[in-house]
Amino acid sequence: MQRTRKPGISRRATLALMGTGAVTFATPWVARAQAKTIKVGMPTILSGRVAQLGTSSRNAVMLEVEKVNAAGGLAGRQIEMVIRDSKGAPQEAARVARELVNTDGCELLIDAEASSGAFAVHEVARDLGVFCIHTNSETSALTADPKQHIPNAFRTARQGVHDSIVGGSYAAAIAKTKGLKKWATCAPDYAYGRDTTGEFTLYLKRFAPDVEIISESWPKLFQPDYTEVVTKILQAKPQALYTCLWGGDLTSYIDQANIYAMFSQMEVFAVNMADYTALTVVKNLPKGIHSGNRYIKTYPATAENAAWGDAYKAKYNEYPTNWSWENATAVMLIAEASKKANSADGKKIAEAMRGLTIKSPFGADGTVTMRAEDQTLIGYAIGWGTTIPQEPYVPDVKPGDWKTILELEAEWKKSKGYA
Amino acid sequence: MDLDALTGCLASPACLVTQTTSGFIIGMLLFLVAVGLTLIFGVLKVVNFSHGAFYMFGAYFAMTAYQLSGSFALAVFCGAAGTALLGLIFERVFMSRVYGADVLMQLLVCYAFVLIFDDVVRMVWGPEFRSMGMPAAFQVAPLFIAGGVVPPYYLLLIGVALVAAVILGLGLARTRLGKVIRAAAHNPGMVSALGINTGLIYGGVFALGGMLAGLGGALAAPVRSLTPGMGFSVLIESFIVTVIGGMGSILGALIGALLIGMIRSFGSLGFPLFTEGLMYLFMVIVLVIRPTGLFGKEVV
């Protein structure tokens, strides 16, 4: 009797396939170890109001990855970036991050999310044990709070508390000179806004004890209309206003506050103003807004920084952003740590990265350091100045002093029970 | 909760003027979007979930026209006319095919277009946020009325929206076309039997609704940042307005929008941490007392 072969897949083949699948999924590193390239996953915000910052993160990463790959990659393995849009939603960021590791086979994560998403991605990194470097979340607690600490997660973003120490002392000096005692605050209502405002006022009051906060506003993140916030602040008649609104929210706010002539009625301290995204988009930029440096190619005033800003502009036809330098730093650190460890393995890179100091165009003294104790970046260029409506936008930046920053940060950590 | 700030404001004429105008501005912009939504629902019985996209297109059309011509009047005209045309095409080509379909199918089509329109904006104008900038004519010092601050641009904005409301209200109540539209809403079969082209009426109403949202977007463009997806948050608030005012009622949309504007404006003083919550709370109270909304009619 002749046996006929039934169409479709045979039982034996099915078993073999299932077996192979099970082995591959249960031991993904076996499959990956043979890969010549190393996949690096990157969840970021590529749509919505923050898209420009997400895109600038991607651009900066690609700019640096090209250099690393040209120099031989990570321990001989070429980097392949897998970049996905989280749309700025925390749950989507977490889902994308998990998918990048589990499905796409990414061995390292560059988390280019805002704070709202970064905490979600952090939990994914904790769960999967994958190497993760947060590049955009400036919320201090992400690395300062020991409960958040995991050995595989780092941060190259500037830290809110650093900004607040420098901003607080800068603002206090102006408050004393100009007699600004009544202050108002306006910040987006989420972790970054709450924390940063709290820290700024803490240091403002510390350096200028007679300052009083007479009005607080907490608009929603991405709120389209700020009219009621603007008029509320006008009612309170403060002498100065602090805001940490950013991106499109900040430009909307400025446009809406402008027609109430708010900027002529008080001194405005907007920590996120001096970023090209905001500076170049606002059509009627008021003169004399005080701002922290985000990214400008004229500060630090070095040839390396100017060259980096120009190279970025030449490639993408726009200026880099605050998120750009933070992401570029992540790739630079990964490359140096990999070189030091002579490996592309996440655990070895993490080990080599703790305490690592590298040359950087964004360093206050030409270098930046990944501090070992809390795995966050220090030594980056940080300062405050006032804006003008055309280039160089912030002509005179007063630099912050890292010795003072570190002393006050240690004190702040103690007061928070973090150290 | 800061009731002192609220009572202090109510006792001060300067604060009352500032906050009331602030409420009017928020309300009138919201009205322009909500009234289109309610009009389309009233006549076509379709909840146009993609209505926020017309607000977005209005803003982008206005910005582009303003950049090309430097004329703000032309920018507003282009914002309104462009979205009217878009509304007409959208209704004739796509929405008209799902009138008889299940409500879920209608929602699905609308939601698909929310995504498509956002992506179109992203492709044409880029994903980053844009700013149109305040026209030079309005870059003037604000007016001080009884000590309260009132920007001249916002007076224009309130004026234009009020004129639109009056024209719309009178047009629907007093003109022959208005009667035909109301008749089409009530009994389209009979209107059709009388030899009136209901397809044209439907397309026209959709275009009118789109135009009003586009006008809102164009007027908001100088003071709000433009970004793909900007219509969504406005849409949510517009739904609240239509639910409060009653689906299908133009007067309801106006009153609902102004109430929401005032809640936001005065609520931010008295309940700074619960302003959003106040809006929803108010909606719940209205729904409990009058499930059809303040001016909505019982569907038999």
The Cα of A33 is separated from the nearest Cα of chain B by a number of Å equal to 37
Quote the pLDDT of residue A27.
Answer: 47
Beta carbon pairs, A and B, within 8 Å: 122
Q: How many CB atoms lie within 10 A of CB A294?
A: 26
**Quick check: A98 and A126 in contact, CB under 8 A?**
no
Distance CA A258, CA A262 (A): 6
Indicate the range of A256-260, A315-319, B127-131, B178-182 predicted with least confidence: B127-131
A260 contacts on B by Cβ (under 8 Å): 142, 149, 151
B269 contacts on A by Cβ (under 8 Å): 232, 235
Quote the pLDDT of residue B279.
Answer: 94
Read off φ and ψ for residue B48, nearest 5 degrees. -80, 90
* Site from A92, A185, A216, A225 to mutate, B interface, most B CB atoms within 10 angstroms: A225
B22 contacts on A by Cβ (under 8 Å): 227-228, 230-231
SS3 A295: strand
Q: Say how many CA atoms lie within 13 Å of B216 toward its Cβ.
A: 34
Quote the pLDDT of residue A34.
Answer: 46
The Cα of B283 is separated from the nearest Cα of chain A by a number of Å equal to 20
A246 contacts on B by Cβ (under 8 Å): none
SS3 A343: coil
Q: Please, which residues 219-258 of chain B have a Cβ atom closer than 8 Å to chain A?
A: 220, 222-225, 227-230, 233-234
Q: Say how many CA atoms lie within 13 Å of A273 toward its Cβ.
A: 27
Q: Which helix (H) or strand (E) element contains residue A186?
A: strand A182-186
The Cα of B285 is separated from the nearest Cα of chain A by a number of Å equal to 23
* Site from A87, A186, A221, A227 to mutate, B interface, most B CB atoms within 10 angstroms: A227
B276 contacts on A by Cβ (under 8 Å): 220
Query: Omega before A219 cis (within 30°)?
Result: no
CB contact B216 to A (< 8 Å): no
Q: Please, which residues 61-80 of chain B have a Cβ atom closer than 8 Å to chain A?
A: none
| Cβ within 8 Å, pair B224-A225 | yes
What are the C-alpha distances in Å from A97 to residues A48, A120, A138, A335?
A: 19, 9, 19, 21
Place of tokens 């586009």: B214
Query: Angle at which helices B231-245 and B275-289 pack, to 10 degrees?
Result: 30
Which of A235, A251, A284 lies closest to B18 in CB terms?
A235
What is the ipTM, given to two decimal places?
Answer: 0.85
Which of A216, A235, A284 lies closest to B139 in CB terms?
A284
* Site from A232, A319, A321 to mutate, B interface, most B CB atoms within 10 angstroms: A232
Q: Which of A200, A169, A173 is nearest to A184 (CA)?
A: A200
List chain A pLDDT tens, one digit each, 419 residues: 445 455 555 656 655 655 555 554 454 444 444 468 999 999 999 877 678 889 999 999 999 999 999 999 999 999 999 999 998 899 999 999 999 999 999 999 999 999 989 999 999 999 999 999 999 999 999 999 999 999 999 999 999 899 999 999 999 999 999 999 999 999 999 888 998 899 999 999 999 999 999 999 999 888 888 998 999 999 899 999 999 998 888 989 999 999 999 999 999 999 999 888 888 888 888 889 999 999 999 999 999 999 999 999 999 999 999 999 999 999 999 999 999 999 999 999 999 999 999 999 999 999 999 999 999 999 999 999 999 988 899 999 999 999 999 999 999 999 999 98
| Cβ within 8 Å, pair A227-B127 | no
Distance CA A250, CA A254 (A): 6
Listing DSSP states for A379-412 in one string gives SB--EEEE--SSTTSS---EEPPHHHHHHHHHHH
Residue A5 DSSP one-character state: P
**Quick check: A244 and A213 in contact, CB under 8 A?**
no
**Quick check: A300 and A319 in contact, CB under 8 A?**
no
B19 contacts on A by Cβ (under 8 Å): 228, 231, 235
Residues with Cβ < 8 Å from A411, sequence gap 6 or more? none
SS3 A184: strand
Which of B154, B222, B227 lies closest to A49 in CB terms?
B227
Q: Which helix (H) or strand (E) element contains residue A166?
A: helix A160-178
Q: Please, what sign has the CA dihedral across residues B235, B239, B245, B249?
A: positive
Listing DSSP states for A257-294 in one string gives HHTTTHHHHSEEEETT-EEHHHHHH-TTPPTT-EEEEE
Quote the pLDDT of residue A15.
Answer: 58
| Cβ within 8 Å, pair B127-A259 | no
Average confidence (pLDDT) over B274-289: 93
Residue of A nearest to B225 (CA): A252
**Quick check: B253 and B242 in contact, CB under 8 A?**
yes
| Cβ within 8 Å, pair A261-B29 | no
Both tokens of A379, joined, read 């030594």
Q: Confidence band (pLDDT; 50, 70, 90) for B273?
A: confident
Q: Which residues of A247-268 are buried (b: 16+ CB within 10 A; e: fewer)?
A: bbbbbbbbbbbbbbebbebbbb
| Cβ within 8 Å, pair B134-A224 | no
Q: What is the 3-state secondary structure (H, E, C) of chain B?
A: CCHHHHHHHHHCHHHHHHHHHHHHHHHHHHHHHHHHHHHHHHHHCCCCCCHHHHHHHHHHHHHHHHHHHCCHHHHHHHHHHHHHHHHHHHHHHCHHHHCCCCHHHHHHHHHHHHHHHHHHHHHHHCCCCECCCCCHHHCCCCEEECCEEECHHHHHHHHHHHHHHHHHHHHHHHCHHHHHHHHHHHCHHHHHHCCCCHHHHHHHHHHHHHHHHHHHHHHHCCCCCECCCCHHHHHHHHHHHHHHHCCCCHHHHHHHHHHHHHHHHHHHHHCCCCHHHHHHHHHHHHHHHCCCCCCCCCCC
Place of tokens 């209608």: B106
Q: Which residues of A133-146 are buried (b: 16+ CB within 10 A; e: fewer)?
A: bbbbbbbbbbbbee
Which of A52, A217, A260 lies closest to B142 in CB terms?
A260
**Quick check: B207 and B88 in contact, CB under 8 A?**
yes
| Cβ within 8 Å, pair B128-A52 | yes
Quote the pLDDT of residue B166.
Answer: 94
Report the percent of chain B where pLDDT is more than 70: 99
Distance CA A101, CA A128 (A): 8
Q: What is the pLDDT of residues B37-92, one digit of tens each?
A: 999 998 888 899 999 999 999 999 999 999 999 999 999 999 999 999 999 999 99
Distance CA A107, CA A74 (A): 12
Both tokens of A289, joined, read 């807004």
Q: Which of A218, A282, A227, A280 is nearest to A250 (CA)?
A: A282
Quote the pLDDT of residue A33.
Answer: 47
Residues with Cβ < 8 Å from A221, sequence gap 6 or more? A116, A188, A189, A190, A193, A249
Both tokens of A75, joined, read 């321990």
CB contact B131 to A (< 8 Å): yes
Strand partners, B82: none
Show which residues on chain A lie within 8 Å of chain B, measured between beta carbons. Answer: 46-49, 51-52, 55, 216-218, 220, 222-225, 227-232, 234-235, 247-249, 251-252, 255-256, 258-261, 277, 281-284
| Cβ within 8 Å, pair A227-B265 | yes
The Cα of A379 is separated from the nearest Cα of chain B by a number of Å equal to 30
Q: Which residues of B131-167 are buried (b: 16+ CB within 10 A; e: fewer)?
A: bbbbbeebeeebeeeeebbbbebbbebbebbeebbee
**Quick check: B244 and B260 in contact, CB under 8 A?**
yes
**Quick check: B270 and B34 in contact, CB under 8 A?**
no
Distance CA B159, CA B176 (A): 26
Q: How many CB atoms lie within 10 A of CB B244?
A: 27
Strands A79-85 and A38-44: parallel
Average confidence (pLDDT) over B7-23: 91
SS3 A42: strand
| Cβ within 8 Å, pair A227-B225 | no
Q: Please, what sign has the CA dihedral across residues B93, B94, B98, B99?
A: negative
